[in-house]
Amino acid sequence: MRNTFNTLMHLQEIDRQLATLESVKGDLPQRLEAITEELESKQRARQEKEDAIRETVTAQQQARDELVLMRERLKKYQSQLYQVKNNREYDAITIEIENTEKEADALDYKILEYEESLAKLQQERDALTPVIEELATRRTENQEILEKTLATTRDEEQKLLLEREETVKAVPRQILSTYNRIRSGRGGVALALLRDGACSECSSRIPPQRGLEIRQMDKLYLCEVCGRIMIWLPEAKNT
Ligand SMILES: [Zn+2]
C-alpha cells in the first residue's frame, strides 16, 4: 500500500505538470473555436444570400422572357384587328388585348420588384464580406499563436503522457478511479498530506485517532472535509 501511495504522489506530480502545460495554452483553443464558429456562420449567411441572388436572377429572367412573348402576342392581336369580319370578332380580340396588357403590366411590376430585392440582397451580401475577411484574419492569427504555443509544449506533454500511462499501471484500478474522480472534482488535486495534524489542502483538523490510522498507510483514508486521499510522509512533521 505504501508503494501505491508513493505512486499516487508521483502521478499527482505528473498531473500537476500536465495542468501547467495546459494552462500555458490558456483559452486559446476555445477562442479559436469561437472565432471559427462565427466565421462559418457568416460564410453560411453569405452563401444563403448568393443562393437567393441566383434564384432571383433566374426568376427575373423568366419574367422577362414571358414579357417578350406577351408583347409578341399583343402585336399579333393588333394585326388581327385589321382583319376582323364583324363586331363580335372585334370585341373578342379587344378583350384579349386588354387582358394581355394587364398581364404585361403586372409582369413589368414583378420585374421591378425582383430588381429591388436583388439590390437589397447584394447589399446584404457585400456587407458580410469585410466581416468575413476580418474574422478570417483573426482566425489565422490565433491559429499561429496556438500552433507556436503547442510546438513548445508538445514534446513535454507527450513525455508526461507516456510517463503517466506507465505510472497508472502500478495503481490498483479501484484506487485509480477514486484518484481520478477526486482529481476532477477537486481542481486537479486528489491528494492531501497529513501535516501538523491537519489536511494540507483544506486545513481542517484530523482527529488524532484518525491521524494514527492514516500514518499506518495501509488503507485509503479520505479527508472528511475536502474528500481528498490523505497521505502521510514520514519526513513531514506530524503532531
Ligand atoms: Zn481536506
DSSP string, 168-214: HTTS-HHHHHHHHHHHHHTTT--EEEEETTEETTT-PBPPHHHHHHH
**Cα–Cα distance, 211 to 238 (Å, whole number):** 9
Tell me which of 239 and 176 has the higher pLDDT: 176
CA of 221 to the centre of ligand 1 (A): 11
CA angle 74/80/85 to nearest 5° reads 150
Sheet holding 198-199, edge to edge: 198-199, 191-195, 229-231
- Residue 237 scores a pLDDT above 70: no
CA angle 230/232/237 to nearest 5° reads 125
Amino acid 141: pLDDT:
96
CA of 186 to the centre of ligand 1 (A): 10
Q: What is the pTM of this model?
A: 0.63
Average of per-residue pLDDT across 3-28: 92
Amino acid 234: pLDDT:
79
Domain spans of the chain, in order of start: 24-168, 173-231
DSSP string, 20-32: HHHHHHTTHHHHH
List pLDDT tens digits, range 81-104.
989 899 999 999 999 999 999 999
Amino acid 26: pLDDT:
87
Tell me which of 22 and 109 has the higher pLDDT: 109
CA of 225 to the centre of ligand 1 (A): 5
CA of 25 to the centre of ligand 1 (A): 29
- Residue 158 scores a pLDDT above 70: yes
CA of 114 to the centre of ligand 1 (A): 72
Record the cell numbers describing residue 46, joined without a space. Answer: 453569405
Amino acid 238: pLDDT:
45
CATH label, 24-168, candidates 3.90.1150.10, 3.40.190.10, 3.40.309.10, 1.10.287.1490: 1.10.287.1490
The C-alpha cell 477562442 sits at 31
The mean predicted confidence, pLDDT, of the chain is: 94
CA-wise closest residue to 149 among 18, 23, 25, 21: 25
